Amino acid sequence: MASESNGGVIDATGYIKHHLQNLTYGQHPDGHWGIAHSAEEASAMGFWSINLDSMFWSILLGCIFCLIFWLAARKVTVGGVPGPLQNFCESMVEGVDNIVKESFHGKSDLIGPLALTIAVWVFLMNLMDLVPIDFIPEFAKRVFGIEYFKVVPSTDVNVTMAMSLSVFALMIYYSFKIKGAKGFAAELTMHPFSADNKVVQIILMPINFFLEIVSLISKPISLGLRLFGNLYAGELIFILIALLPAFAQPLLSVPWAIFHILVIVLQAFIFMMLTIVYMNMAFETHDDH
């Protein structure tokens, strides 16, 4: 597997680049739209290109998440003995609900479902990293003729940043809704440094605004890049292990996969937890401090 691509022999560098390349669709330099056949073509497509494999797997896993909880909800019976699926879903809902109650102090019916969706969806995307590195891409190439086909959406920075920017958009929306434009502006200009003297307040406003706006913008960037970086590094290690001789691969891949389960769960939890914290900050007013 590690030595063949397009019927020819490739070196280790080529193998790594091949497995890190997405199936990209966009506009070619000559103006026509289509799928990129190399990393160079994908790069030339620019901002308006789309990674089809990331979109396919993220949407599919989102649908699987919805299907699992829908099936559990259909089988809920009052007074009956719950099955394994119902027990699992109820424990997930209860666990996330307890975390939200402890970490979110505002009033909103959105935060609980949002946290649950993020936790399960990100976990499922991360879980794809445990699929053998050549299994699905090789199947896609042999059956459908698709040369590039990554299967872990959270190793695509476009996916992780899209999720973090969605959380950021909710933060800004609720900051305006709860605090009003005046309250949100005051939060950005009157903290962290404050003074009773009006002249000093005016002098401190640009400094406060600079510090607060940097802190605000860094939240979605760190949220998206943290998830991407951890999963991308994990995927890269699996690729490097696949380059080793066949007898050595199980000796390293199995222990790394076991350890990586912790990373998969932890990164989903961190993304969910930070989302709850950021939303709590958006709902907080100056009077709450």
At 26, give phi and psi (nearest 5°): -175, -165
Q: What is the pLDDT of residues 171-191, one digit of tens each?
A: 999 999 999 999 899 888 888
Q: How many Cα atoms sit within 13 Å of 282 on the Cβ side?
A: 22
Question: Is the model more confident about 25 or about 287?
Answer: 25
At 33, give phi and psi (nearest 5°): -100, 140
Binned at pLDDT 50, 70 and 90, residue 288 comes out as low
Q: What is the pLDDT of residues 55-110, one digit of tens each?
A: 999 999 999 999 999 998 887 766 667 788 888 888 999 999 999 999 998 888 89
With 0.85 as the threshold, say if the pTM is over it. yes
Angle at 154 between CA 12 and CA 259, to 5 degrees: 70
Check residue 80 and give its pLDDT. Answer: 66
Q: Which residues of 208-229 are buried (b: 16+ CB within 10 A; e: fewer)?
A: beeebeeebeebbeebbebbbe
Q: For 135-152, what is the mean pLDDT?
A: 92
In angstroms, the CA 125 to CA 224 distance is: 14
Full DSSP string of 197-258: SHHHHHHHHHHHHHHHHHHHHHHHHHHHHHHHHHHHHHHHHHHHHHTS-TTTHHHHHHHHHH
Q: Is 51 helix (H, G, I), strand (E, B) or coil?
A: strand
Q: Which residue has the tokens 């080529």?
A: 14
Task: Report percent pLDDT > 70 for the chain.
Answer: 94
Is the bond into 192 cis (omega within 30 degrees of 0)?
yes
The residues annotated as belonging to the active site are 222, 226, 230
